[in-house]
Structure 1
Amino acid sequence: MPYTFDRLFAGADFADIDTRTRAALAANGFGVLTEIDVAATMKKKLDVDLAPYVILGACNPAMAHAAIGMEPRVGAMLPCNVILRQTDAGVEVSAIDPVASMTAIHNDALKGVAAQVRDLLQKAVDAA
Structure 2
Amino acid sequence: MSYTINRIIKDADFEGVDQRARQALTDHGFGILTEIDVKATMKKKLDKDMSAYRILGACNPGMALEAIGVEPRVGAMLPCNVILREVSEGIEVSAVDPVASMSAIDNEDLKQVAGKVRDMLSEVVQAI
- Quickly name the TM-score band, shorter chain normalised: over 0.9
What's 1:105 paired with? 105
Give the match's secondary structure for 1:49.
coil
Structure 2 counterpart of 1:48: 48
User: 1:83 maps to what in 2?
Assistant: 83
Letter in 2 for 1:84: L
Provide the rounded CA distance (Å) in 2 between the counterparts of 1:65 and 1:38: 29
Q: Which AA in structure 1 matches 2:15?
A: A
Compute the displacement of 1:109 (Å): 0.6
Question: 1:12, 1:46 → 2: CA distance?
Answer: 29
Deviations 1:34-56, CA, capped at 9 Å, x for gaps: 00000000000000001110000
C-alpha distance in structure 2 between counterparts of 1:75 and 1:113, whole Å: 13
Alpha-carbon offset, residue 12 of structure 1: 2.2
Alignment-derived partner of residue 70 in structure 2: 70
1:18 matched to which residue of 2? Answer: 18
SS at match of 1:104: coil
TM-score (norm 1): 0.98
State the aligned residue count. 128
How far has the Cα of 1:115 moved from its partner?
Answer: 0.5
- Deviation digits for residues 24-76 of structure 1, max 9, x if unmatched? 00100100000000000000000000111000000000000000011010000
The yes-or-no answer on 1:34 pairing with 2:42 is no
Structure 1 stretches of at least 4 aligned residues deviating more than 3 Å after TM superposition: none
2:21 and 2:104 map into 1 onto residues whose CA distance is 28
Q: List per-residue Cα deviations over 1:85-121 (Å, max 9, x = no partner).
A: 0111100000000000110111111011000000110
SS in 2 for 1:103: coil
Preserved contact between residue 11 and residue 89 of structure 1 (Cα < 8 Å): no
Residue ranges of structure 1 left out of the alignment (5+ in a row):
none
**Identity of matched residues, %:** 64
Quote the Cα distance in structure 1 between the aligned partners of 2:66 and 2:100.
18
